[in-house]
Structure 1
């Protein structure tokens, strides 16, 4: 039962929760706000609707406003004439899945089929493919991030609850006018048939929108398509390159909102630690958290000549994500990041050895165990580094750790781009006897001056186990 709960926790965290947080926190692989002096963007989800979308197109035409429509494929299939009109009148058409269903409840292959099917429908009607995608409810999963130049995920900076009819046109207009500013991406809906929406809600949306378009005209603002906003914000349109390709190697500066989301992320980690009863050697300044469990993987030959086999007891290590984030966000270079992480591990291994000696119930533990995204480094402490068996766990670990590395690494996306072939999660193990013989008595006095003088790659990329 515990194993099942653990896997469910892993899957939900890796597949949905963490990607959602990081897309919101850092805008990773998504476009959610533009730049400009006189432009904002109107985007419409869930349509086309045979009644309301033509009326909306009339309104946009009246004010010479361009918009982006993220269409549901099944609705587009039923209303090809409306899709053709959108295209002919100069609006951008994007994808909102074939059916309005969250990506959290679909396998990666199913999401891909939904996108491709909708794109084929749009191409059949207009003769052109689209590269713009908004997942329903803006919920991304782990594998959405693996779509590189073929798909640009587009979220929003402002939404208003316009799917509720009871909100009313006056209240909706006030909300929209308060957010009317250059660079804003408005999320609106031209169809009320989605679960949770009201069928007649677009009536009030269009009444409010006309007031906004009038105000925009008076203020010298104009609504443009998402691809135009991406281009003027300094990014490349999807299909020809990804936006914001480079990220300077400097400490991460967080707004109050991002700090709040980081807090929620770390709260999620605390829940994980509570559910699975993880322990640490230093509650004030933890580096590793750990728990005992039974090993279920392939045999591994370790540094002392012994072999870790299925059924052996292991101490599973989990790097403290708060510490990892602090190190990554304050490091000014990859070398500095590596030095801080090596020193943190160097400090903790003697503490861990003493902990095991003081707890006789851990006498059956055969090895330390973890999963790490690594090039070189743990071997100097006595770890054996080996490949993970091919499969879902290896693939999901790779995707998640690359995602996390792009956030905490000072070189960010540049690091991923230059050395993506090296960013592969590895299994690391150390026999307990080796840990005790090296670190239990006098601790580790290993010097890292050779790393201090190393101008290129860090010794330790990241150590995060699941």
Structure 2
């Protein structure tokens, strides 16, 4: 008897929980976010359409010129085809959230397959367009459902930020805070325009204007999840093409290092800004700094934004080609606009007093307004130089030979700029945003050239 019970349990675990482990938590074959270094966000809405709430969500998106993705339930879409037609006419993506809103762990093989296939037929008949993405209800998986997705050409899509907007009560402010503080380059945000507790989508509707305004101020571009997937795929192709000419040993080293880097950025909360920069928040420990009048502008213990260069940017900045370096400095200038906007509008950065980096990549940074200082030859600084030289040699096309040649040796420097200096140089983008409006209709702010 117990053997049969154990066998049934084992089969069930293999059928559903194991599928969820592989597809949801490990994320094999599942889209959870776009490229980490692209300043885009995909806003998504589940469980609709609902005539009580969905039109209000569409109205707000239209007012802000934002496109989103609606993962709709097939039977609800069939009952309200006019809402599906409106989504399509206003430029939104319509994707699948199953024919019926049931958890994959509670459905057998035949029903699981039909729940995907029927939803695809229903939505394609209403939109007249092919559907390429599927978000399982509650993010639940089983293997038959996943096989159906693969057979029907559907990519499973989950999320990297949750609004948690399905509960009862008045908590619009909490939704706004979760989304705006959780937002990051490449984020896929999970919201709801239906479902949950009675009246719960009203919280989403109340929070949505503030969310869109904040993210537009932070210079994010809103994309659909199909576009987010395409951006990620292009970025992966670019990365492979950069490394394709590297020796196989160095390619293997880069892949292994990505695991270490992921752990480091997770533990130390290092966040992507754009294609050039990442940053972490630390306490300043490098002593007082004074301005030309002798006034103290930085003290030890001040909250500081520690800049990290994206790995691929070393190809641009660690060069002796003046044209390539000049292009890199122009890109860095635009990147600092994004950092200035982050300090202006991200509540986690409201107390930052200084922006700095200890880096080998410092050539030309004085032209961008940074104070550049030599570092004393302490053990820590020698270790940092060796570590950063290793990273540079690993990622640069010329490999470690780049460290042994060149008219000027690469030296570790401290580059820093106060919050006020950053705003004076790069905060003008915010003033231009106020003058020109929210941009091109997708949350894009026009950049200075």
TM-score (norm 2): 0.51
The equivalent residue for 2:401 is none
Asked if 1 retains the 8 angstrom alpha-carbon contact of 2:68 and 2:93, the reply is yes
CA deviations over 1:336-385 (Å, ceiling 9, x no partner):
xxxxxxxxxxxxxxxxxxxxxxxxxxxxxxxxxxxxxxxxxxxxxxxxxx
| 2:141 aligned with 1:148 | no
Deviations along 1:154-193, whole A, 9 cap, x unmatched?
Answer: 011111320113251111111111112221111111003x
Aligned to 1:2: 2
| TM-fit CA distance, 1:3 | 2.2
Residue matched to 2:66: 65
Output aligned runs, 1:17-416, within 5 Å. 17-35=17-35, 36-146=37-147, 147-148=149-150, 150-166=153-169, 168-192=171-195, 197-234=196-233, 253=259
Match of 2:433 in 1: none
Q: C-alpha separation between the residues in 1 aligned to 2:233 and 2:124?
A: 27
1:199-241 CA deviation, whole Å, 9 max, x = no partner? 21111112111101001121111221000000011269xxxxx
Contact 1:53–1:190 (8 Å) recurs in 2: yes
CA contact (8 A) 2:116 2:145 kept: no
Whole-angstrom distance in 2 between the partners of 1:70 and 1:104: 20
Q: Deviations over 1:122-176 (max 9, x none)?
A: 1222212312101100011123343436110001111132011325111111111
Structure 2 unaligned blocks of 5 or more: 236-243, 245-250, 267-449
3-state DSSP of counterpart to 1:165: coil
Q: Supply the distance in 2 between the matched residues of 1:83 and 1:16 (Cα, whole angstroms).
A: 31
Q: Whole-Å Cα distance in 1 between the matches of residues 139 and 25 of structure 2?
A: 14
- The answer as to whether partners of 1:156 and 1:187 remain within 8 angstroms in 2 is yes
Partners in 2 of 1:54 and 1:163 — Cα distance?
18
Q: How many residues are paired up?
A: 246
Contact 1:97 1:111 in 2 (8 A): no
For the residue of structure 1 that corresponds to 2:16, the secondary structure is: helix
Q: Which one has the largest radius of gyration?
A: 1
Tell me if structure 1 keeps the 8 A contact 2:71–2:135.
Answer: yes
Task: Indicate if the aligned counterparts of 2:70 and 2:92 stay in contact, CA closer than 8 A.
Answer: yes
SS at match of 2:259: coil
Residue 108 of structure 1: CA displacement? 2.6
Contact (CA 8 Å) 1:191, 1:199: kept in 2 or not? Answer: no
Q: CA RMSD in A?
A: 2.7
* Structure 1 pair 13–253 and aligned structure 2 pair: CA distance change class (3 A): farther
How far apart in 2 are the matches of 1:105 and 1:11? 14
Q: Within 1, Cα distance between the matches of 2:30 and 2:47?
A: 19
SS of structure 2 residue aligned to 1:21: helix
**Residue aligned with 1:234, SS:** helix
1:186 alignment partner, SS class: strand
Cα distance in 1 for partners of 2:39, 2:263 equals 27
Check if 1:16 corresponds to 2:19.
Answer: no
| SS of equivalent residue, structure 1 residue 129 | coil
CA distance, structure 2, for counterparts of residue 115 and residue 38 of structure 1: 32
Q: Runs of 5+ in structure 1 lacking a partner?
A: 237-245, 260-466
Deviations 1:410-441 (A, max 9, x none): xxxxxxxxxxxxxxxxxxxxxxxxxxxxxxxx
- How big is the shift at 1:256? 6.0
Contact 1:158 1:186 in 2 (8 A): yes
The answer to whether the 8 Å contact 1:120/1:129 transfers is no
TM-score (normalizing by structure 1): 0.49
Q: What is the CA distance between 1:25 and its match in structure 2?
A: 3.6
Structure-1 separation of matches of 2:77 and 2:177: 31
Secondary structure of 2:150's aligned partner: coil
Q: Distance in 1 between matches of 2:19 and 2:215?
A: 35
The alpha-carbon distance between structure 1 residues 12 and 167, as it changes in their structure 2 partners (threshold 3 A), is farther
